[in-house]
Copies of this chain bind each other. A is one copy, B any other.
C-alpha cells in the first residue's frame, strides 16, 4: 500500500477490537520471578494473595502459561465507550522535524481519566464486583490511575478509596474533584489515617510522598475493612495483561496498512503503559517471528532500570506488601518532587524487568526540562497537550527522528502517548517561568536505599 494512503488517524472498527488480552509471559522462556511473602520470604500462594487481591485477578497474576484471556463482555462494552484509541500518524511532527522517519503514536488520552489507566481499572473493578465485594482501595501518583478507578467504580457502583501521592495532590487540585464527580474518596499520602502513614510521616516529616508510601496505606486500609480488596494500577502481571489491549490495537491498526515499526518507545514508571504497548510485538520477538527495538524511557530523577539493581524488593515503602524481583532503587527511595508523578515508582514491572535483564529491551533516562520542551513542541504541531509522563516518550521519539535526519534513514517509530496534561498546568507554568530544575539522585542516596533491602 502506498505511503500516502495512510490516514492521520487509524481507528479500528468495533468488530476489529481485541476480544482477548494477550499474556506476554506465555511466550517468555525466563518467566518473571514469583512474588514473595513479606514475612516468610517464601513464594506467595494463591490463598495468601487472595487476602489482598480479588480471586480472579490472582489467577491472572499467577498464570505464566495461558497466552490469551478472553475479555468479559461487560468490559468489552465499557471499552467501546472510549476505545478504540486512535493510532496517529504524526505527519505534522515529521514535517516540523524535517525527518525521513515515519512516526506513529498510540494515543490513550481520549477519555476522561486522561490516560491508558482505564483499561485495567475497569477490569479490576469488574472482577471485584463479580466477587461481590463492597469496594476497593488504591494509590495514585499523577492521579490518572485514581481517576480511572473512580470512573470504573462509579460505573459499576463500587466504593472507591484513593490514597494520592501528596506532591500530586498539591500540584493537581482539580484531580480530586474529578474523582469526587465519580464518587471516590481521596486522601493525600502519607496520611495520619493509617499506621504505615503515621510511621513514614514521623521518619520523613517533610516528605512529598511516593507511590511506594501510598501503596502501603491503601493495602493497610483494604486489610482493615471487610469486603474490600486492594487494586494496583501498574507493576503487576495482571495489569500488563489488561494493558496489552494498547499494543494489540496498535498492531492491528499497523497491520491493516502493512506497517512494521523499527523502534517502539514508551515511558516507564511501573511499566503499565510500556508493557501493554510492546506486548504483542515483544511476543513476536520472543517467538523469533520478527525483530524490533524496544526503548523504555524513565526520568533521571527516578531511574530504576538505568541505575537500579535487579533483585527482590518490596513494592511499597512501608514494606507490608509482597516482594517482587525487579529493577529497583530500593523501596525506601523517595525521588525529588518531579512533575511526572506517574513515573515516581522505585521499582519496575517484574515482567519488564526480566525482559530487560534478558536483553530484549533498552532503557534510557531523560531530564524533565528537556521533556517539557519536547511536550510543548509536540503540543504546537500535533495539537495534543501531553501529560509529562507521556512526554518522556515524545522526547525519545523526537531524538530518534532527529538521528534519522542525520543518517538519512527512514525508520518507522511507534511510541505510546499515554495521556493528556490538562491537570499538569502548574508544571507547565513552572517550565514557562524558568522555575523548573533538573535533579539527579546521588550515588549515595541510591546505595543507602538499596542497602536497606532484605537479602533474598
Contacts and interface: CB of A to CB of B under 8 A. Distances in A.
A428 interface: yes
Nearest to A422: B422
Given A9-B80, A111-B384, 10 more contacts: A8-B81, A77-B91, A110-B110, A112-B379, A154-B380, A155-B381, A155-B383, A178-B425, A181-B432, A182-B379
Interface string A238-278: 00000000000000000000000000000000000000000
A53 to B, nearest CB: 25
A92 B155 CA distance: 10
A383 B425 contact: no
B112 A383 contact: yes
Given A112-B385, A379-B112, A381-B155, A177 B80 contact: no
A91 B76 CA distance: 13
A241 to B, nearest CB: 22
Nearest 10 pairs between A and B by C-beta? A174-B425, A8-B80, A177-B425, A422-B422, A7-B14, A112-B385, A154-B380, A81-B383, A11-B11, A177-B429
- Residue of A7, A154, A174, A423 with most partner-chain B CB within 10 A: A174
18 contacts: A8-B14, A8-B81, A77-B91, A81-B92, A82-B383, A92-B155, A111-B384, A112-B379, A155-B381, A155-B383, A174-B422, A178-B385, A178-B422, A180-B429, A180-B432, A181-B380, A181-B432, A422-B423
Interface string A5-18: 00111010110000
A81 B385 CA distance: 13
Interface residues of A, number: 43
Given A112-B420, A423-B422, A428 B384 contact: no
A376 interface: yes
A43 interface: no
A382 interface: yes
A183 interface: yes
Contacts of A380: 154-155, 181-183
A151 interface: yes
Interface of A: 7-9, 11, 13-14, 77, 80-82, 91-92, 110-112, 114, 151, 154-155, 173-174, 177-178, 180-183, 376, 379-385, 420, 422-423, 425-426, 428-429, 432
A381 B8 CA distance: 30
A105 B381 CA distance: 28
Main secondary structure, interface of A, reads helix
Given A112-B379, A180-B432, A423-B422, A13 B7 contact: yes
Contacts of A82: 383
A2 to B, nearest CB: 14
Contact of A383 (B13, B111, B183, B384): B111
A177 B7 CA distance: 31
A181 B428 contact: yes
Contacts of A422: 114, 174, 178, 422-423
A428 B428 CA distance: 23
A244 to B, nearest CB: 21
Contacts of A174: 174, 422, 425-426
A385 B181 contact: yes
A385 B154 CA distance: 13
A422 to B, nearest CB: 4
Nearest to A12: B11
B376 A181 contact: yes
Contacts of A77: 8, 91
A359 to B, nearest CB: 38
Nearest to A8: B80
A141 to B, nearest CB: 19
A374 to B, nearest CB: 13
A182 to B, nearest CB: 6
Contacts of A383: 81-82, 111-112, 151, 155
Contacts of A92: 81, 155
A434 B432 CA distance: 36
B181 A379 contact: yes
A149 to B, nearest CB: 13
A432 B420 CA distance: 25
Nearest to A385: B112
A381 B155 CA distance: 6
